[in-house]
Chain A
Amino acid sequence: MTDEEILQLLYEQTLVGNAPAVTGGVNDGLEQGIPPERMLYDALIPSLEEVGARFERGDYFVPEMLIAARAMQGALDILRPLLAETGNTGVGTFLMGTVKGDVHDIGKNLCNIMLEGAGFTVIDLGVNVAPERFIEQIEAHEPDVVGFSAFLTTTMPMFKANINALEKAGLRDRVIVMVGGAPVTQEYADAVGADGYSADASSAVKKAKELIELRRSRVPA
């Protein structure tokens, strides 16, 4: 297969969530010398973005999104160490978790994959994460961004509780706070005092990069 054919295969097989084919394609690509970045940026990320767009339009359903993400994850597992070697990291560190009382993680996991694909180091704390745990992990990892995810109107108030805990621990100015989840809006994000909100995984990446840049330009290193 030519390089172009392999990239096309990666794009198409990620789109339909065929994990074995994607893993195989990545290995074939590496064998014939396609740079890992090229597979990531010219095939895998555009494919997952297309998945997101189809879901947004109502053409794709939850299981299709999940298997596509799983296929992408399989590819990332192979590419991650290689990308690190070529210096395709260092965009920033992103600490992620679903808030206390909430066990929904589909959207959060998609964000993680897109962030990793974009060169972020992602530390995922999983679901039902208490404010104390966020604090402890922020102190341990000193991330650039912390992301709070909530899927329920009943658990969204935990954003505020988490931010209050950050303030109390004296960490609020040391980390960018992003929030997201199905019922969350920009208005709500503003009301609880978050730094950023995004409606989907690919815009979360854009927003996180933007906020980090803004912060680095403001704060002298």
Chain B
Amino acid sequence: MSRYETVLRSRTREVVIGGSGPFCVIGERINPTGRKLFAEELRSGDLSRVGADAVTQVAAGADMLDVNAGIPLVDEPQLLQAMLRAAQDAVEAPICIDSSVVEALEAGLSVYEGKALVNSVTAEDDRLELILPLVARHGAAVVGLANDETGIPATAHERLRHVRKIVAAAADFGIGPEDVVIDPLAMTVGADTEAVTVTLETISLIASELGVNMCLGASNVSFGLPQRHALNAAFLPMAMAAGLTSAIMSTAEVCVQAVRAADLLLGHDPWGASWIAAHRARVAAEQTAAQQAPAAAP
């Protein structure tokens, strides 16, 4: 359980990360990295897939959506704005504005209606000085990556040092710890057998020392391996038990179910109310489908 509640808003909906509530699932799909067709469509000004992916992910259980416009050689601020408009028109879920380009974050925040999660800042001085004022001015929350210009620290304690720096810098700009969501950094286990162990240690350490909310890119752990969803689905509950409160992740059924099951098992879904409600909704949907199926046959 985290000590803070990070509140994010869309035009119409409020989502809380942390506190005693359930895990926040942030859909990862609206990101052209590694999606050649999507990247080409976006480049040519076709934004139809943004809305479609937004609807699909929310239907699959996403509480929030990550939106990233990182395509080489495009006007990222402009594209990110267009994608954010499309996503906001398609769904009510609050959005995580994802870019490493400060101008793009600024452009994105200017068209976002609500309280966004800005993804991200690092512990580098120049990044903190550029991005935190922007976050403060727009009344947003920010994701802070536990690394700096020297790279990703190999140990949990070194990562914690970066986290303390980010939380302190945010406070200097009037951003409270409730609006700082730390990324403890998930690396691929396929390249380093100890990678996930370090991530889990980092999560535990940050949870006990600072109690801030945390969010990571969960799919990183399974990069380069077969049956990725199964690995992600095993990783998420472990990370949740260590203290992770949200993730940018796949909304594949096996992953979302693993998260919701862990919510119940870790006491974040009192009396299993959400778990049981999701079950009823699924049964009802199956029955409706079964009733419609014979009628549809000639």
A residues with a Cβ closer than 8 A to B are 61-63, 66, 100-101, 103, 106, 127-128, 152-154, 156-157, 182-183, 188, 191
Assembled-state Cα–Cα distance A188/B33 (Å): 15
Q: Which residues of B contact A156 (CB under 8 A)?
A: 72
Contact B33 A128 (CB under 8 A): no
Residue of chain B at shortest CB distance from A63: B190
CB proximity of B73 to chain A, nearest CB, Å:
6
Residue of chain A at shortest CB distance from B124: A101
Given A103-B152, A153-B33, answer yes or no on A62-B72 (Cβ-Cβ < 8 Å).
Answer: no
Nearest 3 pairs of A and B residues by beta carbon: A62-B224, A62-B190, A154-B100
By DSSP majority rule, is chain A's interface helix, strand, loop, or mixed? loop
Contact B225 A61 (CB under 8 A): yes
Residue of chain A at shortest CB distance from B223: A62
Instruction: Pick the contact of B72: A61, A103, A153 (CB < 8 A).
Output: A153
CB proximity of B258 to chain A, nearest CB, Å:
22
Contact B188 A188 (CB under 8 A): no
List 26 A-B residue pairs with CB atoms under 8 Å apart, sorted by A's residue number.
Answer: A61-B226, A62-B188, A62-B190, A62-B223, A62-B224, A62-B225, A63-B191, A63-B224, A63-B225, A66-B190, A66-B191, A100-B149, A101-B100, A103-B152, A106-B191, A128-B149, A128-B151, A152-B33, A153-B33, A153-B71, A153-B72, A156-B72, A157-B72, A183-B33, A183-B34, A188-B72
Assembled-state Cα–Cα distance A61/B224 (Å): 6
Assembled-state Cα–Cα distance A157/B99 (Å): 14
CB proximity of B225 to chain A, nearest CB, Å:
5
Near A by CB (< 8 A), chain B positions 136-194 give: 149-152, 188, 190-191
Instruction: Pick the contact of A154: B70, B191, B223, B226 (CB < 8 A).
Output: B70
Given A153-B70, A154-B100, A188-B72, answer yes or no on A128-B150 (Cβ-Cβ < 8 Å).
Answer: yes
Instruction: Pick the contact of B73: A63, A101, A154, A188 (CB < 8 A).
Output: A188
Q: Which residues of B contact A61 (CB under 8 A)?
A: 190, 224-226
CB proximity of A122 to chain B, nearest CB, Å:
20
Residue of chain B at shortest CB distance from A185: B72
Q: Which residues of A contact B32 (CB under 8 A)?
A: 153
Contact A183 B72 (CB under 8 A): yes
Assembled-state Cα–Cα distance A127/B187 (Å): 15
Q: Which residues of B contact A153 (CB under 8 A)?
A: 32-33, 70-72
A62-B191, A183-B33 are known; give 18 further A-B pairs, CB within 8 A.
A61-B190, A61-B225, A61-B226, A62-B224, A63-B190, A103-B151, A106-B191, A153-B32, A153-B33, A153-B70, A153-B72, A156-B72, A157-B72, A182-B34, A183-B72, A188-B73, A191-B72, A191-B73
Most buried by A among B70, B73, B225: B73
Residue of chain A at shortest CB distance from B225: A61
Assembled-state Cα–Cα distance A100/B150 (Å): 9
Assembled-state Cα–Cα distance A157/B224 (Å): 24
**B97-114: contact bitstring with A at CB < 8 Å (1 yes, 0 no)?**
001110000000000000
CB proximity of B195 to chain A, nearest CB, Å:
11
Assembled-state Cα–Cα distance A103/B150 (Å): 9
CB proximity of A9 to chain B, nearest CB, Å:
26
Q: Which residues of A contact B151 (CB under 8 A)?
A: 103, 127-128
Q: Which residues of B contact A188 (CB under 8 A)?
A: 72-73
Residue of chain B at shortest CB distance from A103: B151
Most buried by B among A100, A128, A182: A128
Assembled-state Cα–Cα distance A103/B225 (Å): 19
Q: Which residues of B contact A183 (CB under 8 A)?
A: 33-34, 72
Q: Which residues of B contact A152 (CB under 8 A)?
A: 33, 70
Q: Which residues of A contact B190 (CB under 8 A)?
A: 61-63, 66
